[in-house]
Amino acid sequence: MIACDLGSNTLRIVEIECQKRVKVRTYEKIVRTAKELHATMRIGEEAQRAIFSALEEASSLFDFKHEPSVCVTTQAMRVALNSQEILEEIKRRFGLNFEIISGEQEAYFTSLAIEHALQREGFAAHTYALFDLGGGSTELIFCKNGEKTTKSFPFGIISVAEQYRTDIEQNVTRIVESIEDFLPKEGGIEENYLQLVTTAGTPTTVAAFLEGLDYAHYDASKVNGKVLYVKDFDQAYTKLIALNHEDAERYTGTNRRDLIVVGILIVKAIMRKLGFDRCVVIDDGLREGVALAHCQGKVRIF
């Protein structure tokens, strides 16, 4: 079965063989759905063209007409005034029915993928803290002995990068303070949760960059389960801002360095807030969680 995740920054698609729970193929394209959304409250023409172009490309790789497909979209489409007309155009052109899911649904599906991936990579999957730093929102999940609490926060790498051109570190620190009321109150988080897990483009790009992988040769198998410390994010930040434009594009993707640099600041601020000096990076995310949920009979075909 096929699962599509149209995020605020990236279109991600996966085909999974349900019985074995293994990936058949994947696809990912930066589309920057949320570009300038904070100013216009609309998905812009440039983003729309990028989305349609990516789906056209993906249509040559996936058999959308004959394979069951579950398609979801998140924060940018939640808030955009023109989201419905865009989703109707996608359905007309490609036959794909994208459903706008809530932040809590996004967190739940992502947690399914993370737990599956943690087990696959040899980590305990019953007690963890997780943050998923997206383009337009950030999801936090605290899972203790299988019991989960989740919350979605309306900040991400695109919204922060576009709204704050100066004093970015101070603004990031202030924004991350918004998670305070959601944090568990039963003593130190690090003492009560076995590990901090993170997913999405910033940590996976940093992990790949530190492995010497450029964007065109990204390898999820070398990223999944990689443990990164705060000092690793510091190192990546210093190296990335020092790269010339051509090299930055090679390692982070087209017009993406600005987002990754801001993302690193957010990751570090969240890690400090949660009291962890290291995190486990997982490439699997929402698209895999939606696919797994369908394979387990937990979601209908939208």
DSSP 5: E
pLDDT in the model for residue 187: 64
Radius of gyration of the chain measured on its C-alpha atoms: 18
Q: Find the helix or strand (DSSP H, E) in which 37 lies.
A: helix 37-40
pLDDT in the model for residue 302: 45
pLDDT in the model for residue 52: 97
The model's pLDDT over 132-154, given as tens digits with 9 standing for 90+, comes to 998 889 999 999 988 999 999 99
Q: Which residues of the chain have pLDDT under 70?
A: 187, 298-302
Q: Find the helix or strand (DSSP H, E) in which 130 lies.
A: strand 128-133
SS3 46: helix
Sequence-separated (6 or more) residues with CB below 8 Å from residue 202: 133, 157, 259, 260, 263, 264, 266, 267
DSSP 21: T
Residue spans of alpha helices (H) in 183-279: 189-192, 201-210, 220-223, 230-242, 245-252, 257-274
> pTM for this structure?
0.88
pLDDT in the model for residue 228: 97
Residue spans of alpha helices (H) in 165-200: 168-176, 189-192
pLDDT in the model for residue 253: 83
The model's pLDDT over 192-223, given as tens digits with 9 standing for 90+, comes to 887 999 998 899 999 999 999 988 899 999 99
Position 184, amino acid: P
pLDDT in the model for residue 301: 46
Q: Are 2-103 and 113-286 in the same CATH fold?
A: yes
CATH architecture of 113-286: 2-Layer Sandwich (3.30)
Domain boundaries of the chain, sorted by first residue: 2-103, 113-286
CA angle 135, 137, 140 (to 5 degrees): 125
Identify which of 283, 221, 259, 302 has the alpha carbon closest to the alpha carbon of residue 31.
Answer: 259
Q: Does domain 2-103 have CATH number 3.30.420.40?
A: yes
